[in-house]
């Protein structure tokens, strides 16, 4: 009996070893087709204090809890060594399941309220949206 179990274990090991073929290609996480990425880049006026900046960031971070169409929210400060930021310091990526959801977000009262909070402190803003075309 012990001999049969050893043979079965070796057979299973050889099958699983054969099935796993490591590659040199990095794993690719695919986004759902038609997902909309809403990219927002801010350049703040020089007079924006650290306290005001903290208030603005907290208000932006609160939007996903107020607007159900926002499915993902990421942000960070520029750390690119390429020197092409044109003074833009903060980047935000909001993810929506569709253009319809993004379009519902734009006039949403919570988004409009946030615009009133951040608007007076902005020296520049860039917004780019794209629908995932990846394969």
Rounded mean pLDDT, 32-37:
85
State the architecture of 36-131 in CATH terms: 2-Layer Sandwich (3.30)
Nearest to 89 by CA among 54, 57, 42: 42
pLDDT at residue 113 above 90?
yes
| CA nearest to 94, candidates 62, 57, 132, 64 | 64
Return the sign of the alpha-carbon dihedral for residues 46, 52, 58, 62. Answer: negative
pTM of the model: 0.76
Burial 107-135 (b: 16+ CB within 10 A, else e): ebebbeebeeebeebeeeeeeeeeeeeee
Nearest to 76 by CA among 67, 85, 104, 68: 85
Of the pLDDT bands very low, low, confident and very high (cuts 50, 70, 90), residue 17 is very low
Distance between CA atoms of residues 122 and 88, nearest Å: 10
Sketch the domain layout of the chain as residue ranges. 36-131
Helix (H) or strand (E) holding 42: strand 36-44
């Amino acid at each position: 009996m012990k001999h049969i179990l050893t043979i079965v274990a070796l057979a299973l090991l050889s099958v699983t070893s054969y099935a796993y073929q490591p590659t040199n290609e990095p794993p690719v996480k695919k986004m759902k087709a038609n997902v909309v990425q809403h990219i927002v880049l801010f350049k703040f006026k020089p007079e924006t204090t650290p306290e005001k900046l903290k208030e603005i960031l907290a208000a932006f971070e609160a939007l996903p809890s107020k607007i159900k169409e926002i499915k993902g929210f990421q942000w960070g400060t520029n750390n690119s060594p390429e020197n092409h930021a044109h003074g833009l310091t903060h980047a935000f990526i909001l993810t929506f399941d569709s253009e319809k959801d993004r379009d519902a977000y734009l006039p949403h009262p919570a988004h409009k309220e946030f615009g009133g909070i951040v608007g007076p402190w902005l020296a520049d803003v860039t917004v780019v949206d794209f629908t995932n075309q990846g394969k």
